[in-house]
């Protein structure tokens, strides 16, 4: 996500000097994409709002730790993922299939926005279905694997930026991505086998 501008960098410098109004402007820039990312991550609108708010509060408290060597949004999302990991000790994320209708509709709308607007309706529906399945598979990964998958493919940032944001080496990020993608491929294969079996049973 590339939304940083010279004006935003100026706001960041002011915020680092303790200017709360400047940080408020930064929050207004990032709160919507951060909330969308939180919703994609946890699948629960109420929890997503809490995560996004807690992330911005935490960012304000430790703003001096932001080095500028990765995109600010990547850094914010790394904080978001850590906050989410902490909440799992008290509550578990709600799977997509058990969401109340308004929440499920919101996620489906976000997925729809990522589809090709030129796609035929049946193609767009298939893309949304595959995307929803992929989200469920990602949520089944270990948390440190979820972290790199979300940052790499949902936040869309470089390997080097991810390493900087989460405070580990580039090699560690690459290793986690490799293992996470390998696990996702295995899960997708299992889902494909289940679908084929279901199709066969329907023919009986």
pLDDT digits (tens, 9 = 90+) for 80-111: 988 888 886 665 544 433 333 344 444 444 43
CA 141/CA 187 separation, integer angstroms:
10
Residue span of the structural domain in which 197 resides: 6-203
Sign of the C-alpha dihedral, residues 8, 11, 17, 22?
Answer: negative
Mean pLDDT computed over 173-181:
89
- Token pair 């930064």 is at which residue? 26
Residue pLDDT, tens place only, 108-160: 444 344 434 455 555 556 666 767 777 778 878 888 888 888 888 888 678 99
Categorize the per-residue pLDDT at 5 as very low, low, confident or very high, splitting at 50, 70 and 90: low
* 83 located within any domain: yes
For the chain, give the longest Cα–Cα distance: 71
Q: Is residue 82, in this structure, part of any structural domain at all?
A: yes
Residue 175's pLDDT is 92
Report the alpha-carbon distance of residue 37 to residue 80 in Å, rounded: 9
d(CA 101, CA 97): 10
Give the residue carrying structure tokens 């997503």.
48
Residue 1 lies in a domain: no
> How many independent structural domains does the chain possess?
1
Give the per-residue pLDDT at 56. 94
Model pTM?
0.67
Does some domain include residue 10? yes
* Rg, Å, the chain Cα set: 19
Whether 147 and 177 have beta carbons less than 8 Å apart is answered as no
CA distance 114 to 31: 19
Average confidence score pLDDT of the chain: 76
Q: HSE of 122 in the Cβ direction (CA atoms, 13 Å)?
A: 0
Backbone φ/ψ region at 103: left (φ over 0), alpha (ψ -120 to 50), beta: alpha
């Amino acid at each position: 996500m590339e939304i940083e501008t010279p004006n935003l960098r100026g706001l960041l410098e002011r915020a680092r000097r303790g200017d709360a109004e400047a940080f408020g402007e930064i929050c207004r820039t990032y709160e919507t994409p951060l909330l969308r990312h939180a919703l994609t991550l946890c699948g629960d609108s109420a929890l997503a709002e809490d995560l996004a708010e807690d992330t911005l509060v935490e960012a304000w408290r430790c703003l001096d730790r932001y080095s500028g060597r990765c995109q600010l949004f990547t850094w914010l999302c790394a904080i978001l993922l850590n906050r989410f990991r902490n909440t799992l000790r008290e509550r578990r994320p709600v799977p997509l299939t058990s969401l109340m209708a308004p929440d499920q509709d919101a996620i489906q709308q976000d997925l729809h926005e990522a589809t090709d607007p030129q796609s035929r309706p049946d193609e767009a529906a298939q893309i949304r279905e595959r995307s929803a399945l992929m989200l469920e598979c990602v949520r089944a990964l270990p948390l440190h694997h979820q972290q790199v998958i979300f940052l790499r493919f949902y936040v869309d940032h470089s390997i080097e930026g991810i390493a900087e944001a989460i405070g580990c080496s580039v090699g560690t990020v690459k290793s986690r991505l490799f293992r996470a993608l390998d696990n996702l491929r295995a899960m997708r294969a299992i889902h494909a086998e289940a679908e084929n079996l279901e199709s066969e049973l329907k023919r009986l």
